Amino acid sequence: MSRIRRRWVAWLATAACAAAATPDVVAAEPASTAVTVPDYGSLWVARAAQNSLVEYGASASGASMPSVTISGPATGLSDPAGVTVDHQGDVFAVNAGSDSITEYAPGASGDAAPVATISGSRTGIAAPSSIAVLDDHVWVSDPGANLLLAFTIGSSGDILPAQTIAGERTRLDNPVQIAASQDGFGIWALNRPSSGRPSLTGYADEAGNVAPTYRIAGKHTEMEDPAAIAVDSDLNVEVADRSANAILRYDGWVNGSVDEPPDDSIGGSRTLIDQPDGVSVDAVGNVIVANSGGDVLVFGGKGYGNYAPQRVVTGAAEGSAGIFVPAEPPSPPTHVHPDIRRHSVRLRWDPPRDSGGGLFYYQVCAAELFDSAPICASDLSPGEFYTRTHVNLGRLQDGVIYIFAVQAINATGESPLAGFKTAEPRGAPAPPVNLAAATTAHTISLAWSKPDNNGGAAITSYRILTARCHTGRGCSPPRTTRTSRSHVKLRHLRPRSRYMIKVRAVNKYGAGRPATEHAATR
């Protein structure tokens, strides 16, 4: 059972109890005056010389001590060349000393054994240099063999790669660093050929011997001694260049191959950037730089130029082989409120108080109150995911109590489901059921049962339309009869005539769809 489904079922039982006592819309919660300080994730560093992975808190500054250290013989770490974290909190390291990938459970610390290890001759991993997570795959680069390998997260052992990017068409040339686009647009490689200029190649959605979707290369790029790359949620590629003592920014939305200068840069004496050999970007655009001397510099979101870092963590990356800054999933949407409409509900909500960083979108789920499984909005209206903060959920059955929930999603993960508000769409009744007719020469006696659904309001009457029909000439204008009972006798009819009869149930919202009967007098 998925995490979303488990959460839904658990809350569904609670919401059902409350809604059973009050079937109408639950009042929206009052606005909170609390201020949430955003926490966009921690800083992970792979320390190759110490065979360790260390984590610093999101607000670490100065000579801070790591909040977590993974180190020891049980860890399987061997000259870790890079570290990354997925949105579940699993930590991945690529080990240049053992040609392996090791995965650690969320919260792992100390001499923790990996929950999965990928290594062996079938894997094709040889002299790996960097690591990245994209969707449900963990990728590593092999500069010597000019290839990128992907393995399904959770797999272990001496296994074949799930995907490979390799071959002449890829334009890979000593890919020393890779980075995954935060919004899932693909994998990027930094190529450092033994002769010739460095280049950037990006692969959007295909593997194999494929041409790069994007390529940034040539003398105008100003890359001289690039050491590391990162890709933000806007597909900007950040390059740490040691020769320039700067972070060079390129627009990744290129058409094919381009030779252009960087769009912007962070560099100059005030930045404190000195021989940078690592760079990461969090989901709100903060750029994190690791100097070869060990300091980690954090620059405010999307700011470029010669300016001081927001904070400096001294000694954090000493002897490091890579850094990674995960973002956080968003907090839940707020003030979820359903507006009742005829045959539909317009669901409104406010954005999360903390986006977790970066752009996010919403998923809406709805179910009949006592159903055990959610129905996502794709079953109720045209789309499942929304960037706006409202949606019309149509084709609902009047008089049925529904429960609604919303969750926010960003590049890192999803928020808890929020809302769990109930609503009962109101409208005209369903057609009467079991309509039957008994005839004489001059009368038709009709009987029926109440509709299966009264539209959410008591039925006040029934409306009967009777029209005499003629073969080949259609039917005459109908006459209308009204009754509050579930039977009626139509009198003064013509013998040996055919009649079309429609019976509609009526409540305060209007007349519903008819039940139709054809009858002939004797």
pLDDT, position 18 = 39
Answer yes or no: is pLDDT of 443 > 90. Answer: yes
Is 70 domain-assigned? Answer: yes
Q: Alpha carbon 173 to chain centroid distance?
A: 34
140 and 83 co-located in one domain: yes
Looking at residue 438, which CATH number applies to its domain? 2.60.40.10
Task: Give the angle 52-58-62 at the CA atoms, nearest 5°.
Answer: 75
Contact 200, 145 (CB under 8 A): no
127 and 232 co-located in one domain: yes
Task: Classify residue 72 by burial, with Cβ atoms within 10 Å: 0-12, 13-18, 19+.
Answer: middle
318 and 340 co-located in one domain: no
Instruction: Write down which residue in 277, 293, 324 finishes a domain.
Output: 324
Q: Which amino acid is at 65?
A: M
- 23 versus 191: the higher-pLDDT residue is 191
Q: How many angstroms separate the CA atoms of 401 and 21, rounded?
A: 12
In tens, the pLDDT along 300-339 reads: 866 789 999 999 999 888 888 778 877 667 888 899 988 8
337 and 253 co-located in one domain: no
What is the pLDDT of the chain when averaged over all its residues?
A: 84
Answer yes or no: is pLDDT of 13 > 80. Answer: no
What's the chain's length in residues? 522
Instruction: Write down which residue in 324, 352, 367 finishes a domain.
Output: 324
Question: Mean pLDDT across the stretch 491-504?
Answer: 94
**In this structure, what DSSP letter does residue 96 have?**
T
Q: How many angstroms separate the CA atoms of 141 and 174, rounded?
A: 9
Is 167 domain-assigned? Answer: yes
How far CA 276 is from CA of 174, 175, 287, 289, in Å, comes to 19, 18, 12, 7
Query: What is the helix (H) or strand (E) element at residue 418, kind and residue range?
Result: strand 418-423
Portion of the chain with pLDDT greater than 90, in percent:
53
Contact 338, 352 (CB under 8 A): no
Q: How many CA atoms lie within 13 A of 246 on its CB side?
A: 20
283 and 188 co-located in one domain: yes
320 and 333 co-located in one domain: no
Instruction: Write down which residue in 324, 349, 378 finishes a domain.
Output: 324
Number of domains in the chain: 3
**In this structure, what DSSP letter does residue 67 have?**
S
Looking at residue 229, which CATH number applies to its domain? 2.120.10.30
181 and 276 co-located in one domain: yes
301 and 387 co-located in one domain: no
Is 163 domain-assigned? Answer: yes
30 and 148 co-located in one domain: no
Contact 202, 171 (CB under 8 A): no
Is 196 domain-assigned? Answer: yes
Domain encompassing residue 455: 433-520
In tens, the pLDDT along 271-307 reads: 999 999 999 987 667 899 999 999 999 998 667 899 9
Is the dihedral angle over the CA atoms 339, 342, 345, 350 positive or is it negative?
negative
Token pair of 127 as six digits:
């002299």
414 and 467 co-located in one domain: no
Query: What is the helix (H) or strand (E) element at residue 17, kind and residue range?
Result: helix 3-21
Strand, coil or helix: 7: helix
- 78 versus 16: the higher-pLDDT residue is 78
289 and 141 co-located in one domain: yes
317 and 333 co-located in one domain: no
Q: pTM here?
A: 0.64
Is 428 domain-assigned? Answer: no
Q: How many angstroms separate the CA atoms of 482 and 70, rounded?
A: 80
Task: Locate the DSSP E strands across 57-129.
Answer: 68-71, 80-85, 91-95, 100-104, 116-119
Q: How many angstroms separate the CA atoms of 218 and 176, rounded?
A: 18
How far CA 294 is from CA of 84, 129, 159, 273, 419, in Å, comes to 19, 19, 36, 11, 46
In tens, the pLDDT along 360-371 reads: 688 888 777 765
